[in-house]
Amino acid sequence: MAITPIDLTQRLAGKVAVITGGAGGIGRATARRLTAEGARVVIGDLDPATGTVAAEEVGGLFVQVDVTDEAQVDALFAAANEAYGSVDIAFNNAGISPPEDDSIETTELPAWQRVQDVNLKSVYLCSRAALRYMVAQGSGSIINTASFVAVLGSATSQISYTASKGGVLAMSRELGVQFARQGIRVNSLCPGPVDTPLLQELFASDAERAARRMVHIPVGRFARAEELAAAVAFLASDDASFITATTFMVDGGISAAYVTPL
């Protein structure tokens, strides 16, 4: 009996993916990866300059969006459905980590609220918008970006960021269970520290904080955005058809470590 070869470059052929925060970092790397696997990509981002370039790079569509605004989020997913006929993958990835978000002793309420709005409220809005299309078509994969700090305590705290990512985990878990029998999977992606402009900016201003974090990574380096993109592509694909409501750790072993190699 002949075995049909598997073409992994077309694992996502015919799928339509919406990526928020898609103009840079993990989002842009994911746009490249999903396109390479056959998906059509819609990039949602606040910055039209970088967003347009990122969309053109993958032959996709750019939609300017403030992910904290319900009408704009709804318009993003409506645009994807109108342009390509479905919403099959939602990578809800937009997030911020501003310097004003620090220890609970120094983080004031406006900074707290801004991070909650961008990191948690946006995932609620994007998941809600995506589900309107996925429920109707009886299929879909939602991947929400959380963080390894949602499962570990950090003495170098970003209090609102940590709390927001914990909220993403809990919400994604509940959605994954709630919509499982409607053909929709919802998972949380939990990156370890990733070598993106956001992290580079943080560490450039605080070498001690950078050193304190690096020592806890068993692999001994930060992740590459492309490594996270590969995880998203897996969770988006039918290869992950029995995976839902999970906390998908891509952290270089941080969450399993007590001490790390010298």
The single-letter code of the amino acid at 123 is V
Active site members = 161
Residue 6 above 90 pLDDT?
A: no
| Residue 2 scores a pLDDT above 90 | no
In a domain, 260, yes or no: no
Residue 79 lies inside a defined structural domain of this protein: yes
Cα-to-chain-centroid distance, residue 145? 3
Q: What is the pTM of this model?
A: 0.94
157, part of any domain: yes
Does 121 map to a domain?
yes
Q: What does the pLDDT average to over 151-164? A: 93
CA angle, 42 then 191 then 240, to 5° = 65
What mean pLDDT comes out for the span 60-69? 98
Task: Examine residue 258 and state whether it is found in any structural domain, yes or no.
Answer: no
Mean pLDDT value across residues 184-189: 98
Whether residue 189 is contained in a domain is answered as yes
- What local confidence, expressed as pLDDT, does residue 154 receive? 87
Please state, for a pLDDT cut of 90, what percent of the chain lies above it: 84
pLDDT of residue 202 exceeding 70: no
- Residue that wins the pLDDT comparison between 242 and 208: 242
Residue 1 — pLDDT band, cuts 50, 70, 90? low
Q: How many domains does the chain have?
A: 1
Average pLDDT over residues 109-137: 98
Asked if 63 and 46 touch (Cβ cutoff 8 Å), the reply is no
Residue 69 to residue 117: CA distance in whole angstroms: 9
178 in a structural domain: yes
Q: Which domain holds residue 131?
A: 11-194+224-244
Residue 5: inside a domain? no
| CATH of residue 55 | 3.40.50.720
